[in-house]
């Protein structure tokens, strides 16, 4: 049996993060935390709105840190848990027109690896999930309108359910940084 609580909040804002943290406190304990919120823009760094770039950092990095920090005490109290930080295949190298996206996802990999070592004695598993192209609404945002899905060969695309399955399979005994497929 699994109980899931959802909270609608803008994780790019302090108010949104606070709202989710308060929900964690009121509805805890937390066994699994999946930091899956994320977005990208497409364009040269110097040409894109700096506020959108900062919002990406706030969602990918600041929210992940804040929510993880709020969940860990619950997990310690229960003697274990799991944290999955959704990173990206793009975290492993530079991708022109997506500089902040790549850099912020790279942070998640190192954060996850460090945290996994810190929390191993508490029975808390940490994973940085690094999917490639995944069929989802990720590319539907206006900021991604220049992205041509058809330019990516069909075999390069994964189904979301397959990415989830790979993550959960690797969570028990796999590496911290997981590249599905």
User: From CA 139, how far away is CA 146, in angstroms rounded?
Assistant: 9
**Hey, what are 68's tokens?**
């993880």
User: Out of 20, 101, 163, 167, which one is annotated catalytic?
Assistant: 101
Give catalytic status of residue 101 as yes or no. Answer: yes
Pairing of strands 32-35, 81-86: parallel
Q: Are 135 and 159 in contact (CB under 8 A)?
A: yes
What burial class does residue 127 get, using C-beta atoms within 10 Å of its C-beta: 0-12 exposed, 13-18 middle, 19+ buried? buried
Paired strand residues for 84? 34, 127
Paired strand residues for 34? 84
Which residues form the catalytic set?
A: 101
């Amino acid at each position: 049996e699994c109980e899931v609580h959802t909270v609608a909040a803008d994780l790019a804002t302090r108010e949104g993060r606070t709202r989710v943290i308060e929900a964690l406190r009121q509805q805890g304990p937390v066994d699994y935390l999946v930091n899956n919120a994320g977005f990208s823009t497409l364009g040269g760094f110097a040409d894109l709105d700096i506020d959108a770039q900062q919002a990406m950092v706030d969602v990918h990095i600041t929210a992940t840190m804040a929510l993880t920090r709020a969940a860990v005490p619950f997990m310690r109290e229960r003697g274990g848990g799991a944290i999955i930080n959704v990173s990206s295949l793009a975290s492993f190298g530079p991708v022109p027109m997506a500089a902040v996206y790549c850099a912020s996802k790279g942070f998640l990999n190192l954060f996850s690896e460090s945290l996994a070592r810190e929390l191993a004695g508490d029975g808390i598993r940490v994973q940085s999930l690094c999917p490639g192209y995944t069929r989802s609404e990720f590319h539907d945002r206006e900021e991604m309108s220049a992205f041509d899905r058809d330019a990516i060969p069909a075999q390069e695309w994964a189904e979301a359910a397959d990415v989830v399955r790979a993550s959960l399979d690797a969570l028990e005994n796999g590496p911290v940084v997981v590249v599905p497929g």
